[in-house]
Amino acid sequence: MPDLEAAAARVVAGDAQAFGDIVEGTSQGLVRLAARLVGSVPDAEDVVQDAYVSAYRALVAGRFDARSSVKTWLYRIVTHRAIDALRSTARRPVGTDQLDEMAVAPATTPEAHLALVELSQWLEVLPPEQRAAVVLHSVQGFSSHETAEILGCSEGAVEQRLVRARATLRSRRGAA
């Protein structure tokens, strides 16, 4: 695992190649998180690529204030990009091309792909913010504090989202 803080400092100093170390050290976890949020690996890769470009621009312009670690900062950018993607997906109807794309998603194993489909179907009734809280806290295993830091809200707001999400999922299961 490359030293992300050192790599970020090198990018700030003008070494664009150092960004490759950041990508190498974080892409696995970020694509996994984004896939759990948006429900497909190709969409997750788009989200993470956009997030990397935003992060690079911020580093070059000196807008990374290092108040959190580089890893947490990237998780925050990816999560918010994924929430935006979920919102825009909710507004437009799913076309057949998207269904085809999901069917051929290059997940690492067929079992992982099936589990991703199940996760996506389980959480599809939740608003994007609640879905993000469930994925970060209950699926990824982050603490309430870490989840709040990534989502940019209070721990109380995280707990509230989780309570509402659980209630929605429970009522859906009861209705099934």
Q: Which of 41, 77, 78, 150 binds other proteins (CB under 8 A)?
A: 41
Q: Does residue 12 belong to the site contacting other proteins (CB under 8 A)?
A: no
Contact present, 85 and 38 (Cβ < 8 Å): yes
> Which of 152, 47, 134, 49 has the alpha carbon at shortest distance from 89?
47
Identify which range of 15-23, 68-76, 91-99, 144-152 contacts other proteins by CB under 8 A. Answer: 15-23
Contact present, 126 and 165 (Cβ < 8 Å): yes
Backbone φ and ψ for 152, nearest 5 degrees, come out as: 70, 40
Q: Which of 8, 10, 45, 83 binds other proteins (CB under 8 A)?
A: 45
Q: Of the two residues 20 and 156, which places its CB atom closer to other proteins in the complex?
A: 20
Q: Does residue 10 belong to the site contacting other proteins (CB under 8 A)?
A: no
Q: Which of 12, 31, 153, 157 binds other proteins (CB under 8 A)?
A: 31
- Give the CA radius of gyration of the chain: 17
Q: Which of 116, 126, 132, 148 binds other proteins (CB under 8 A)?
A: 116
Identify which range of 82-90, 93-101, 103-111, 147-155 contacts other proteins by CB under 8 A. Answer: 103-111
* Cα 139 from Cα 156, distance rounded (Å): 19
Report helix angle 70-91 to 19-38, nearest 10: 40
> Which of 21, 5, 11, 6 has the alpha carbon at shortest distance from 58?
11
| Window 124-143: residues binding other proteins (CB under 8 A) | 134, 138-141
Q: Helix, strand or coil for residue 130? A: helix
Q: Which residues form the interface with other proteins (CB under 8 A)? A: 16, 19-20, 23-24, 27-28, 31-32, 35-36, 41, 44-45, 48-49, 52-53, 56-57, 60-63, 106-109, 111-112, 114-119, 122, 134, 138-141, 166, 169-170, 173, 176
